Amino acid sequence: MNFTAKNIADFTNGEIIGNPDEVVHDISRIEEGKKGTLAFLANPKYEKYLYNTKASIILVNRELVVNGNIKPTLIRVSNAYNAFTSLLELYAGSLADKTGIEQPCFIDPTAEIGRNVYVGAFAYIGPKAVIGNNVKIYPQSYVGEGTKINDNTILYSGVKIYHNCIIGSNCIIHSGSVIGGDGFGFVQQDDMQQRKIPQLGNVIIEDYVETGSNVTIDRATIGSTIIRKGVKLDNLIQIGHNVEVGENTVIVAQAGIAGSTKVGENCMIGGQAGLAGHIKVGDKVKIGAQSGVTNSIKPGETVLGSPALNASKQVKAMVVYKSLPEMYKRITELEREIALLRKEEK
């Protein structure tokens, strides 16, 4: 689909500097721009590409000061990154919209299927499942008995949702994710054998949640594992049974949260961070990558390292840690001098 600079300016409430009839049919990064593509500049580090890119139209912030000759047509907007995101959403919406039931697939006669639904080949929808309007279930996905998926949600290929789970509206679950598998619950017996604790709860995912690929969210032992509205999960994340993740929290790849931990709203958890079980993380907490969190964290705090400490304390500790070899050398020399002094005294 083709868009002119005027089309884009009208949509983004932008100001055109250049040719209003310039046409683009694709998007590109500014440093890799090609004729006929739209790019954007939001980070000042990339300004140097503005003067030699071959992109035809570039979205820039209104306050940008141009320091050279520019060939592309510019569109000045209040926030280039947000405007570009809106255009990507428009472009994605213009792509083919899948609907209909492909064969072979299995839909149990007791399942309820809404309007304008897409079910891909080899998908399975179990007994008493409820599928809302405009839901898309891509090939080889599994929806268990009694599970409810609300309107406008997308399950990409190979997603598995176990029985009695609830998925909200406008969610996106990427390929390979497993929602509602058993929590890791065992009791060691006198003979050292591990006895499985039945996992009888479910998973509730509220509206506007997105999970990356190969995310696993365990069902609760009793009650629900809950992912609140607007949470964004990267790829390869493990969330244990009875965990609750607060609204709009973002968790980066390979992080893990052990059972019964409560994470507050608007938190940011870095890649490969690990959170122990049965702790509470307050609202607006930031946890650095590879942090090991073993204790509860107060609202608004930033923690780093393993074990995780307040960021300011951890930075000081890191400075000391880097100095340990020199400190060890100095201590060894001091011990040697003390030993010589004692020997002379005797």
User: Which amino acids are annotated catalytic?
Assistant: 241
> Quick one: angle between helices 80-94 and 5-12, nearest 10?
110
Instruction: Quote the CA–CA distance of 275 and 242 in Å, as a whole number.
Output: 14
What's the maximum distance between 2 C-alpha atoms anywhere in the chain?
97
- Side by side, the strands of the sheet bearing 26-27 are 15-17, 73-77, 57-61, 37-41, 26-27
Secondary structure in 3-state letters for the chain: CCEEHHHHHHHHCCEEECCCCCEECEECCHHHCCCCEEEEECCHHHHHHHHCCCCCEEEEECCCCCCCCCCCEEEEECCHHHHHHHHHHHHHHHCCCCCEECCCCEECCCCEECCCCEECCCCEECCCCEECCCCEECCCCEECCCCEECCCCEECCCCEECCCCEECCCCEECCCCEEEECCCCEEECCCCCEEECCCCCEEEECCCCEECCCCEEECCCCCEEEECCCCEECCCCEECCCCEECCCCEECCCCEECCCCEECCCCEECCCCEECCCCEECCCCEECCCCEECCCECCCCEEECCCCEEHHHHHHHHHHHHCHHHHHHHHHHHHHHHHHHHHHHC
